[in-house]
Amino acid sequence: MPLFQSFFTLNKNRIMALNAKIPEGPLKDKWQNYLAKTRIVNPANRKKLDVIVVGGGLSGGGAAASLAELGYNVKVFFFQDSARRSHSVAAQGGVNAAKNYKNDGDNVYRMFYDTIKGGDFRSREANVYRMAEVSANLIDHMVAQGVPFGREYGGYLSNRSFGGVLVSRTFYARGQTGQQLLLATYQAMMKQIKVGKLTQYNRHEILDIVIVDGKARGIIARNLDTGEIKRHAAHALVFGTGGFGKIFYLSTLAMNSNGSANWRAHKKGAYFANPSWTQIHPTALPQSGEHQSKLTLMSESLRNDGRIWVPKNKDEKRAPGDIPDEDRDYYLERRYPAFGNLVPRDVASRAAKERMDAGHGVGPLKNAVYLDFKTAIEKLGEDTIKERYGNLFTMYEKITAINAYKEPMKISPAAHFSMGGLWVDYELQTTIPGLFAVGEANFADHGANRLGANSLLQASVDGNFILPNTISNYLADDIRTGPVSTETPEFEEAEKEVKEQVTKLLAIKGTMPVDQIHRRLGKIMFKEVAMSRNEKGMIWAIEEIKKLRKEFWENAAVPGNENGPNSELEKAGRLADYLEIAELMTVDALDRKESCGAHFREDYQTADGEAMRDDENYMYSSAWEWQNEENWKLHKEPLEFTEVTPTVRSYK
């Protein structure tokens, strides 16, 4: 507790503003003004420049393929055996774009406003507008690459709705949209590998970045099959490394998803923005016991046709199909009649938690609510529902042995997405010159809550459309630099530090399995830094995290050695980072004395239980600078709105 108090007294007096480098002009013209004036690199000079991309998913893979297509020499690193297994593959429901195919009043401005409002007016206006503006190009791009989007009978691309909007702008490929977009991106990467402009390093994990003369000039990576640690140099680095939601242990993320690359960059000087803003997805399969290591996502698209309810009677014993409507509480339709079951994710998750905490949960552990398709099947027919969501129903039945066409699904909130991430400016460059972050790795577009189907959008447009146009402004200064050498004191020191960290982890020789410590961390975080938070609970959480971190370094069991595959060593390194990220997440949440989006403080709420913002004191993004263990320096980026007026977010 004394350390925590001293942190604020030492650093509150040194708060600084950040320069986001937002272009001049009206909001609708900013991106085109930027493109008209930014520096570009001559095609003949691009072949002299090397770029390292970390991450093979939609953002990283898209950036790698696009930069290679432009003529840069690109290396892409990812820890999976194939880029096709990047976590982008798990996204199900769709990708948003303002094309107004439904003629329902959609346009770029409406999409921009929905996104700003969905994030509770805590995102950068210029970046959000650009994402909406570029969205239409993305659909044409992906169709040209062969993505089999759903179509109407007449051949037009089909749309459906997602939470937080009143129009249909979500393009989808059944419940496999992420997979189909990733396959298209993978094919683009393979084309560039074939022509020799792109080199892939699968089964490699980045362990540090290298700073030379103040610029990001390379990485230290470990081959997960051989254990070899090697230096790699480039003129610029691009991180498409995803989010850190696996910090909760039980989450919808893949088991190997982690925040380590971003955290290593943070400790080298990249500011970490709004780390406490993590999304709890309202539609996942509920935890069934302590044996589980992850949770399964059920697409938000199901809320288009499914109705969410709980029994009014806490002691209800009847099967769900035997409970009549008058004994059901369709609580989202009751509380939010304008949006009903399609409220944003943070609102839906908190409402589910409120019902479960009040004793109305269903299932063996009373930790779920019902998602019911009876009404939709009666109106539209089972074949229509099967056409829209067939693979999701099949997946649900394989896991639960329940036919959701006949009986309601059981769903529950689960950790899912990181709105916070590395701070970036309008060019997607971090506070380390030469290090760029795209997709979920950065913080820029979603504010305090991400709208459904905007994740695939941000990842794809960052990698394919935005970064290729902004990175040239930086690389234009490097056309005379020549190849970047790895034989420098900076690379030598970075490699030495990485090897010392590996040795330190292997030397612990304790008895506590890494997964067991991670599970305990997840319970602390989900209890106090997830759907609802309060000052007392977060102060307790910080102390518990510190104790757990001490226990990890004294008693973690890390068997084996560094010479070859060692999954326990990999997990230990990632958990060591999570134990530091967790503290910063909690510090950030404790510092922001307001409720906004997914950051819901029980001590800052309205009389009817809704989030209560404090625009006078907290209209900024928090960007934290690493000082040393347990200490960070706060920088503020003021959020200015020229086209919208922040209002109390209401979906009623």
Which residues are the active-site residues?
345
Give dist(CA 584, CA 578) in Å, integer. 10
Amino acid at 198: L
The residues, ordered by sequence, that sit 6+ positions from 154 with a Cβ below 8 Å of its Cβ are none
Dmax over CA atoms of the chain, in Å, equals 75
Q: What is the DSSP string of 486-531?
A: S-SHHHHHHHHHHHHHHHHHHT---SEEHHHHHHHHHHHHHHHSSS
Q: Which long-range contacts (CB under 8 A, 24 or more apart) does 8-17 make?
A: 8/591, 10/631, 11/627, 11/631, 11/632, 11/633, 11/634, 12/634, 14/633, 15/634, 15/635, 15/636, 16/635, 16/636, 17/635, 17/636, 17/637, 17/638
Tokens of 485: 């050498």
Q: Are 472 and 198 in contact (CB under 8 A)?
A: no
Contact between 77 and 201 (Cβ < 8 Å): yes
Residue appearing with tokens 């063996």:
364
Contacts of 648 (CB under 8 A, 6+ apart): 613
Question: H helices then E strands: how many in the chain?
Answer: 19, 22
Residue type, position 68, single letter: A
SS3 state of residue 217: strand
DSSP string, 238-295: EE-----GGGGSSBSS-TT--SHHHHHHHTTT--EE-TT-EEEEEEEPPP--TT-S--
Closest-CA residue to 418 (of 183, 251, 641, 207): 251
Exposure of 122 in the CB half-sphere (CA atoms within 13 A): 34
69 CB-contact burial (10 Å; exposed 0-12 / middle 13-18 / buried 19+): middle
Query: Is the distance from CB of 514 to CB of 575 less than 8 angstroms?
Result: yes
Distance between start and end Cα atoms, the chain:
41
Whether 620 and 628 have beta carbons less than 8 Å apart is answered as no
| Helices 454-461 and 177-195, packing angle to 10 deg | 10
| Per-residue DSSP letter, 454 | H
Phi-psi region of 229 (alpha: psi -120 to 50; beta: other; left: phi over 0): beta
| Residue 449 DSSP label | S
Q: Is the CB of residue 141 less than 8 Å from the CB of residue 180?
A: no
3-state secondary structure 578-602: HHHHHHHHHHHHHHCCCCECCECEC
Residue 459: closest CA among 159, 269, 177:
177
Question: 266, 260, 355: which is closest to 316 by C-alpha?
Answer: 355
Tokens of residue 308, six digits: 């969410």
